[in-house]
Amino acid sequence: MAHVSIQRSNDLPSCSRCNGPLILAAQMPQLDAAGKPISLELCRTCDAGDTAAGALVRFFSSGAGNDTSRAREGAELIVEFQKEVMAAHGYVLMDNSAPGSSDYPPHTGTPPKGVG
């Protein structure tokens, strides 16, 4: 089974499209048509349109990423962003969960830190 790992970093790579700063960078375990891991990049400049990526940019730009009461909204936006990027590579997210089990658990840790 493939796993996605998330790592916090203050040193994200530059956007591969515009060379600007990224808000989020992740590497999926799935491969693209060239056999390379699919990268998810969220860039304030490149992803500002009317897409799932744009909605996520607006979420983070508004400061909502630091508001724990909006964690569920952020998680849902991240899933939609992931679906959008993966669909561009021919992948579709299949929901295999039982009804009602897709709820995200409440955040109980310390408040998030950083830009977002």
**pLDDT digit string (tens) for 41-87?**
889 899 988 899 999 989 988 988 889 999 999 999 988 988 888 88
Q: At what angle do helices 71-88 and 52-61 cross, to 10 degrees?
A: 150
Specify whether the CB–CB gap between 3 and 29 falls below 8 A: yes
Q: Is the pTM of this model over 0.85?
A: no
